[in-house]
């Protein structure tokens, strides 16, 4: 068989081109796979997630407040709840704008989860069943923020964060103001926590690519 004819040379050229292209794609796929394995999102993407969550938080809390007022609560209850929810919305936007979005994520999970706990327990006991509509909104928001956290935190880190929040709640059962709390408040009580140590060391989640 002769390989020096024009047709054979064309076939060989096409074959080599395809082989080269497949090799490049294989390396590219492997690199993308490795990158995907190492990083879930960048810090900018995480902050964008938090800002979007803050918008949803404001929308759901506003609707919950409207549902609460439709139940004709007592003036004192209305005043306290209105003040608390306005402060909550402000706090959530402040957290979303946190320069370090990884810390912001932990703060957001803590504030939302505690908000649900406090409305489910303290607020209901003090201001009656009309607060149930607000608790319902917080439950929806809690699922939302933990869904975002699951993209970044390992299962072990998620469990550890829950335990930190529950530990604080257990030691502060009568506190009803949660908006000002930040992850650093929990860290002060549980310095031996692996998650706390990572935060204090400055290297939080390997799944988040830092801005360069």
What is the SS3 string spanning the chain?
CCCCCHHHHHHHHHHHHHHHHHHHHHHHHHHHHHHHHHCCEEHHHHHHHHHHHHHHHHHHHHHHHHHHHHCCCCHHHHHHHHHHHHHHHHHHHHHHCCCCHHHHHHHHHHHHHHHHHHHHHHHHHHHCHHHHHHHHHHHHHHHHHHHHHHHHCCHHHHHHHHHHHHHHHHHCCCCCCCCCCCHHHHHCCCCCCHHHHHHHHCCCCCCEECCC
Q: Is the pLDDT of residue 36 over 60?
A: no
What pLDDT is recorded for position 35?
45
Q: Is the pLDDT of residue 199 over 60?
A: yes
Domain segments of the chain: what residues?
Answer: 1-38, 41-209
Specify the pTM.
Answer: 0.76
């Amino acid at each position: 068989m002769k390989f020096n004819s024009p047709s054979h040379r064309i076939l060989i050229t096409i074959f080599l081109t395809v082989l080269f292209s497949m090799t490049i794609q294989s390396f590219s796929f492997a690199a993308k796979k490795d990158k995907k394995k190492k990083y879930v999102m960048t810090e900018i993407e995480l902050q964008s997630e938090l800002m979007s969550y803050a918008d949803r938080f404001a929308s759901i809390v506003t609707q919950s407040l409207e549902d609460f007022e439709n139940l004709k609560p007592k003036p004192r209850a209305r005043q306290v709840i209105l003040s608390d929810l306005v402060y909550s919305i402000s706090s959530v936007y402040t957290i979303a704008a946190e320069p370090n979005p990884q810390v912001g994520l932990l703060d957001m999970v803590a504030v939302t989860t505690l908000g649900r706990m406090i409305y489910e327990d303290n607020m209901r006991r003090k201001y009656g069943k009309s607060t149930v509509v607000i608790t319902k909104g917080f439950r929806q928001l809690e699922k939302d923020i933990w869904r975002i956290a699951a993209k970044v935190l390992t299962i072990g880190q998620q469990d550890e964060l829950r335990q930190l929040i529950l530990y604080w709640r257990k030691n502060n059962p009568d506190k009803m103001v949660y908006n000002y709390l930040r992850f650093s408040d929990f860290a002060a009580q549980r310095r031996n926590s692996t998650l706390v140590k990572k935060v204090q060391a400055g290297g939080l989640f390997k799944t988040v690519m830092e801005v360069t």
